[in-house]
Amino acid sequence: MSPGPNGSPPVHDALTFISKLYFDVANASGPAALPAVRGMADPRHVLFGSDYPFIPTSRGIDYLARAGLSREDLFAIERGNALSLLPRLSAS
């Protein structure tokens, strides 16, 4: 692939741009969605938020618990990645 304007990645290299986005998996932590998100996102950009009151928080928590993630990955999604993004929160 040849570079785009000013040496930027080619426009059709979507994964380059997608990997810069942040993903809330509160309603996307099911067995089909979570592996897809983790396959294209920077692991530090996957977060667990809340879609309350539209989606019960317990559903997302249950899906994450059954996702077979390592303790480190689970901690990162549930808390660690958010603290890296918002470091002031780690003081509280």
Write down the pTM of the prediction.
0.77
Phi-psi domain of 39 (left: phi exceeds 0; alpha: psi -120 through 50; beta: other):
alpha
pLDDT of residue 26: 86
Q: Do 47 and 25 meet the contact criterion of CB atoms below 8 Å apart?
A: yes
Give me the tens of pLDDT residue by residue for the chain, a chain 92 residues long: 566 667 776 666 778 888 889 999 988 888 889 999 998 899 999 999 877 777 788 888 888 999 999 999 999 999 999 999 998 988 76
